[in-house]
Structure formats: structure tokens, C-alpha cells
Structure 1
Amino acid sequence: MKLVTYSKIPATGTRHPGILLDDKRIVDLSASGFTTVLEIIGGGAGALAKLKAIAAKSDAPTVSLADVKLHAPIPRPAKNVFCVGWNYLEHFEEGAKKLEEKRELPRHPVFFSKAVTAVNDPYGTIPFDAAISTSLDWEVELGVIIGTGGKNISEADAMKHIFGYTVINDVTWRDVQRRHGGQWHKGKSFDGTCPMGPCIVTADQVDPTNLKVACRVNGVTKQDSSTKFLYFKIERLIAELSQGMTLEPGDIISTGTPEGVGFARTPPEFLKPGDLLETEIEGIGTLRNTIG
């Protein structure tokens, strides 16, 4: 099942959860009792069973995809988006080489976060402010959505806590990222720098262990890899993140980016106004964001 959040065109200001049936239709869930995707996630297995029954009806109410605007599936997360740094070996190495740093491979995942106000629509414009920085970079990442909350979750049980998966680009202002004493939160949290979507695919529909991930700028491929190269696997990320800290339904984990980012290229490449940033993960979908 693919869940989306949408509003009707012309805009009414009201956002609705829906089920993406294909590239043309969304099942309207107005009469389901759920008003947000977060409510559906919090409803657990019972909510999913109810939605599957609605989608299976031959007379299920639908709206045309052409008549709506898609928003991030969770437009306003309850918490910051949890992110993971240096989680593909080649990306770790390209960054160390470019910055001329001697690094040891991390023994534990490197966690940071993006503010909830960074979340952007799958086809939204990413704001560009040259007065602050011109070093805007791309990072395709698989997003993991927590379904069943928990604390001190074991690796063996971790996958049972996943509701589904989405596409994220951890868009980053590189010079700002390095400006604040080694922590990354500020440079990662500018408004609109976390495009997400276009849907959440439920965990029963995706094998996350070998998904193609790609990022393109103006049609030119910049990143082309697979989730099979994750250094710390999803089970480890959930287990370590939940140590002493409760994960809740709807929490989002962005699992890290592969090699091919702009700052590590020779010469460095950065996004500029008018560029089209496309972020794709096999089996989930493609984000298309203009820099503006």
C-alpha cells in the first residue's frame, strides 16, 4: 500500500490522506475516520486492515492525481527527522579525501537531525538564499518510518517496528554544516531542505535490503547506488537509536547517502536557482524539486 497526503486543486488549504492506486488515481479516505497519515500509522495493524478493505472495494471513492497537489506524506512530523551520517563506505571515503582528514570508520552510527520545518513536498521548491550560502548540496536517502514504538529495541526485533519507507533528500548547505563547532544540525535544517515522498510504501510491500537509489541534477546522474551498501544496516540503526530513547509511531529515520555528493567532486559542484533535483528510490518513487 502506498499512502500519500494531498490537497485538492485549486488549493483549499485542507490536506487529506489517501491511498495511491496507480499513476492516475488516489483513494479518497475522507470517510475512513482518519484525517492524517500520522493517525493511520498510530492506528497500527487495525488501521491498515481497514484501509485495505476500503481500497479493495470496486466502488471505492477516488480522486484524479492530476487534480491534486501532493505534499510530504507526513507534512509536519511530531519530531525532528533522525538522520545518519557516513553510512555508505564510499561516501565516508570521498568526504575524508576531499577534506584531507584522517578518519577511522565509525564504530557506531553517527546521528543528527533535521528540523521539522525542513520538510518539503515531493515536488516543492527548495529555497535558495545566496546571502547566506551558495554551497547547496544533494544527498539521496532511504527514509524509514517507525510504526510500532519502543525503547531499547533489539536488532532481532527492529524490522517489526517499521511501518514503511519513503524517499528523502538530505539537502545540505555545506559551509554552514561545518561552521558550528562540528555539529551538523544548523546546516541541515534550513527551511525546505528535506523533500520527502511522494508516498510511504508499507513495509509488507518493500524489501529494503537492495533498492536502487539515485540522484540526478538537470537529468545528469550524480549518485547511483543501492541500499545493499548501507554500512550500518537498518536493524542496527533502530537498535542503537532506541537505546534509552523511545521511538514513537511516525518517527522518521533517514538512513544516509552514498557517494557522489557535490562538495566531494573535482571541482566541487553545488545546486543553483533553476536546477531540477530528482531523487529516486526503486519501488517507492521519485522526488522532483526545483531550486528557487
Structure 2
Amino acid sequence: MKLVRFGNPGEEKPGLIDADGKLRDLSGILADLAGEALGEESLAKLKSLDTSALPLGPEGVRLGACVGKVGNFIAVGLNYADHAAESGMAVPAEPVLFNKAPSCIVGPDDTVLVPPGSEKTDWEVELAIVIGKRASYVSEADALDYVAGYCVCNDVSERAYQLERGGTWTKGKGCPTFGPIGPWLVTKDEVNTENLAMKLTVNGELVQNGSTSTMVFKVPFLVHYISQFMILEPGDVITTGTPPGVGMGMKPPRYLKAGDTMEVEIEGLGIQRQTVAQA
């Protein structure tokens, strides 16, 4: 299933995309695509619905973030060997973890804002994992039992804040609008994460062109590993790293400015389209 949230910011309703690509309204069945609504029992109920009987959503409506009320928004750094190389950093022996602020989450086509005074705002296409049930100290073998599905994330990053101002990477990762997710959450039964094509264009130029096949730490290991350090709750999001082609790695480096446009795509998970503006 392809599950969505649609409507004005803060007023999103749950929905799904049917076999004909039409938006169907789930608000008569669910309050939101959040928390326990992402559990196995709830998803099984949605899968059994006669989608043709559901009301159509409005044409051209804004899509919001495909998950609501996200508690933990966790990111994995340097999880592609070729991206680590372009960043001038070693491939880590264990996953690098940091937090993105849940308040940075926006819809897939919402405007991305360059922070005041920023000169190094960058892009990163990433595969995001959405948790479906509480996970604590889970084994790698059982890890996928705790996953609801997957979506596209643009891990927008301010590199000076991240790398030049001391402390943790979190400083450069959680500014407003730095977490577009969606357009939809695709349930795990429809996704094989081993070899998904990943692309990101800036102003029509292809800058990232990679695959999840080059991930250092794979999805089951990441869910297992992160659950050793914190409890993961339904609706939590883990964004899993980016392939090469980010602005920081270009020679000379290139960063986002007002008026730029991005298209962010992962095979089978949809396309995001964002315009950049100055905050």
C-alpha cells in the first residue's frame, strides 16, 4: 500500500493511493497515519478495504509528511562508502547516529528554507524506515518485524552548523523544513530495500545517482542496532544515509540558494519536488 497524508499543514488527513493512482480518503477509518495506526493489525485492516468504496480526495491537494506525530527522527551518517570518501571521512566501524528535530519535518513538495545567514545548505536523498511497533533490544533476525514501511527523505543539512561549530552534527540537521518525507509511505511487503535506485537533481541537473546496494549497514542491522540504545516507538523515522553527489563533496563545493529546485526520488517510493527560499 501507498499511504499518504493530505491537506493544509497541521490539518492533514490520512489517505491511500489506489491501484489507479487516485487519492482515497481514510479519515472515516483512521484519525491519522501515526503511532499505533502503523501497526500490523491496523495495516492489515487497511489492506483488506475495498478502496473503490472510499471517498476520493481533492484533486491537486497538498501532500503532507507521510507520517504524523513523529517522536524520534533518527539519522545515520556516513552509511555509504562512496559518500564517506567524498566527505573525506573514514567508513565507520559502527553506525554514526544523530537526531534530526521532528519539528523540521515537512511535506514532500513543501518549500525548503535556507536559514538566515547560511551559506552551506546541502541536499541528501535518503531511504527512510518507518517503525510499526515498539522496538527495544531487538535482534537483527527479527528487526523487519518492527518496520511498517519506507519512504523518501531529503536530509537537508547546513554543513557549517554541522561540521564547523563544535558539538554534534545535530546542529546542522534540524532547522525548519530540513526533513521533507514522502510523498507516501510504502508498506514493507511491497519494498525490497537491497537495490533501490536513488536520484536527486538540482535545477534539473542530476547530482546524486546511487543505489541502496552500497549501504554499509543495511536496514535490519540498523533497526537492531538503534534499538540497543533507545526504545523505538510506532511512527518513529530512521533515515539511513546518502549516496555520493552532495554539494559539500563537489569541487568547488556547491550549496542551495533561494530559487533553486530539487527533485528527490527513490525507485518505487515516489518523487519529491521542492523549491528553495530564504528564511
| TM-score (structure 2 length as normaliser) | 0.94
1:51 aligned to 46, 57, 63, which one? 46
- Once the two structures are overlaid, the 10-residue window that deviates more, 220-229 or 17-26, is 17-26
Structure 1 SS opposite 2:84:
helix
Which letter maps to 1:235? P
**Distance in 2 between residues matched to 1:152 and 1:13, nearest whole Å:** 33
Q: 2:183 is matched with which residue? A: 198
8 Å contact from structure 1 (residues 147, 249) kept in 2: yes
Instruction: Tell me the equivalent position of 2:16.
Output: 19
**Conservation of the 8 A alpha-carbon contact between 2:34 and 2:68:** no
Q: Secondary structure at the match of 1:87?
A: coil
Match of 1:105 in 2: 91
Q: Deviations over 1:78-105 (max 9, x none)?
A: 23x1000000001111111xxxxxx543
2:77 to 85, 90, 100: 85
> Structure 1, unaligned stretches of length 5 or more?
97-102
The alignment partner of 1:239 has SS state of helix
The alignment status of 1:60 with 2:54, answered yes or no, reads yes
98, 107, 114: which one aligns with 1:121: 107
Q: How many angstroms does 1:31 deviate by?
A: 1.7
**Of 154, 157, 162, which residue of structure 1 is paired with 2:147?**
162
Kept in 2, the 8 Å contact 1:24–1:65? The answer is: no
How far residue 45 of structure 1 moved from its aligned partner, in angstroms, is 2.3
Q: Percent identity?
A: 40
For the residues of structure 2 that align with 1:280 and 1:198, how far apart are their CA atoms?
A: 10
Q: CA deviation at 1:128?
A: 2.0
The CA distance in 2 between the partners of 1:12 and 1:290, in whole Å, is 17
1:61-92 CA distances to partner (integer Å, 9 max, x unpaired)? 222442x211011244123x100000000111
Residue 208 of structure 1 aligns to a residue in which SS?
coil
Task: Indicate the residue corresponding to 1:100 in structure 2.
Answer: none
Q: Matches of 1:282 and 1:193 in 2, distance apart?
A: 22
CA distance in 2, matches of 1:39, 1:249: 5
Answer whether contact 1:75 1:120 (CA < 8 A) is retained: no
What are the within-5 Å matches in structure 2 for residues 246-261 of structure 1?
246-261=231-246
In structure 1, what residue type is equivalent to 2:219? I
Aligned residue identity for 1:60: L
CA contact (8 A) 1:75 1:119 kept: no
1:288 corresponds to:
273
Name which of structure 1's ranges 177-186 and 276-285 shifts more when overlaid on structure 2.
Answer: 177-186
Q: Is the 8 A contact 2:24 2:51 kept in 1?
A: no
| CA distance in structure 2 between the partners assigned to 1:120 and 1:51 by the alignment | 24
CA separation of 1:89 and 1:23: change in aligned 2, threshold 3 A? farther
Match of 1:99 in 2: none
Does residue 35 (structure 1) correspond to residue 20 (structure 2)? The answer is: no
Total equivalences in the alignment: 277
Per-residue deviation at 1:139? 0.5
What is the alpha-carbon distance in structure 2 between the residues aligned to residue 220 and residue 195 of structure 1? 20
* Aligned residues: CA RMSD: 1.7
Q: Could you say which structure has the larger radius of gyration?
A: 1
SS in 2 for 1:263: helix
- When residues 230 and 41 of structure 1 are mapped into structure 2, their CA distance, relative to the original with a 3 A threshold, is farther
Asked if 2 retains the 8 angstrom alpha-carbon contact of 1:40 and 1:48, the reply is: no
CA distance in 2, matches of 1:112, 1:164: 21
**Corresponding residue SS for 2:86:** helix
Please list every run of 5 or more consecutive structure 2 residues that lacks an aligned counterpart in the other structure: none
**Could you tell me which residue of structure 1 aligns to residue 63 of structure 2?**
70
